[in-house]
Structure 1
Amino acid sequence: MTKLGRLYGLGIGPGDPELLTLKAHRILTTVPVIAYPSLENGKVLARAIVADFISPDQIEIPIPLPFSVQRSSQPYYDIGAEKIAEHLSQGKDVAVLCLGDPMLYGTFMYIFNRLSGRFSIEVIPGISSVMASAAMLGVPITYRNDVFTILPATLEADILRDRLSVADAAAIMKLGRHFAKVYQILADLGLLQRALYIERATWKNQAIIPITEVDHNSVTYWSLILVPSQNLPK
């Protein structure tokens, strides 16, 4: 009976290849198969970040995913998971590349949910865009007993407003076309002066822009607003 391969959820960090952990690098350079999401426009961001570490001998499994809100990703994850399962069933280890951390809004979670129980799985944590953004902005996020809230901008406005109104500190992810909504909520709550905006944290084309100067129509999905705590320790 063929020994089953092991599935790795490989956190590759926020974008700077030098932020790849030693363990992630070891696994990435030794597994026979790697898988990664591929958008409909052909972009393969996760692979591009670690391209210099990938060998021509490794088998690659692109997982096409739709990025339009009108289309469901479920069948694409189903197909991707079964392609990965084929290799695992043949005894080949597979590493799924995931931006940031695999278990924080990571695409790997959907593969994990489909294959856990069938195969041995190990998750390799990575530096999330939230932590990277705080480092690039040069601001502490929380102090002492502060509660830190991470919010997707895709939430309904009323929910975002309620959560932000009681947050000691917050990060708002997945901005893109939702930026104008978030901006207005921050203004309504008197949080604009504390809010910090960053695009593509740690990438070569990283940009830190005063939030009042951001073009609402050109905000990328790969952007984040950080509202750090104002409860400074005495």
Structure 2
Amino acid sequence: MSSIDAIGGTALGGTLYGIGVGPGDISYLTLRAAALVRDVDVIAFFAKRGLQGNARGIVDPLIAPHRDELRLEYPVTNEIPPEDPSYQEQISRFYEESVEMLAALLRQGKSVGLLAEGDPFFYGSFMHMWRRLEAIFPLEVVPGVTGMSGCWTRANAPITWGNDILSVLPGTLGEEQLTRRLAETDAAVIMKVGKNLAKVRRAVEAAGLLSRALYVERGTMRGEQIMPLSECPDGNGPYFSMVLIPGQGRRL
């Protein structure tokens, strides 16, 4: 498929499209993503109970009235820890039910665009659908700008230089493990900060990196905030928050 065909390509029936919608600002959508959002028979998206869903909100200006949509509503998100057996049981069942709903549409010959915040293959629920469906139905993954890329760009913070090693760490790690991994790397992105903000800040300080750590909240979105981590207020951060530690490698 040529790049020109990809830009204007028509969605194929019976195909699942994992559409990366970027970090929050609709202008960061790729041409391919925007074309598919407009063209697929059904727009599918994950959402927290009572909320629109961030991925769905990003592409809202592209959705014409009366489009067919499939809302996949999480039974639980951050109410209980992910390691809790109840969480794992509920989420596993939810993914199986979601797969069945998507498969039913695909068997009807419909093209389905499953939206994914950032990039579909980076810390996203789409991967759980991909793992279960990619051997059964035609499937195309459309890459998107990751949340971390959007955040370090908005923070005007080049993240790696020369031979810097970048580590991407979940803030859900234990404090000791987080501290150790931070001390061993040149540059870092800490995701899933949210309720782990205080622990993350302690780990960053213990690793001797607080002086160059940045806190980014809702990067590229409405309500964006960027500040040194050392100046971040006490308390929990929102779901869309992360900590950046730019590298200091060789600069020519």
Q: TM over 0.5, yes or no?
A: yes
**Does the 8 Å CA contact 2:17/2:114 hold for their aligned counterparts?**
yes
Per the TM alignment, residue 4 of structure 1 is displaced from its structure 2 partner at its CA by 6.1
Per the TM alignment, residue 233 of structure 1 is displaced from its structure 2 partner at its CA by 1.4
**Does the 8 Å CA contact 2:216/2:225 hold for their aligned counterparts?**
yes
Aligned residue runs from structure 1 range 34-183, under 5 A = 34-65=43-74, 66-67=76-77, 68=79, 69=81, 70=84, 71-72=87-88, 73-183=91-201
Q: Deviations over 1:35-92 (max 9, x none)?
A: 1011023341111111111123421111111212352311111111110110101111
Structure 1 runs (4+) deviating above 4 angstroms are none
CA distance in 2, matches of 1:90, 1:21: 28
Structure 1 unmatched runs, 5+ = none
Query: Are 1:29 and 2:47 matched, yes or no?
Result: no
**Does the 8 Å CA contact 1:4/1:89 hold for their aligned counterparts?**
no
Per the TM alignment, residue 175 of structure 1 is displaced from its structure 2 partner at its CA by 0.3
Query: Are 1:233 and 2:251 matched, yes or no?
Result: yes
RMSD: 1.4
- Percent of aligned pairs with the same residue? 38
CA distance in 2, matches of 1:51, 1:29: 11
Q: Deviations over 1:97-119 (max 9, x none)?
A: 00000001011101111111110
Structure 2 unmatched runs, 5+ = 1-11
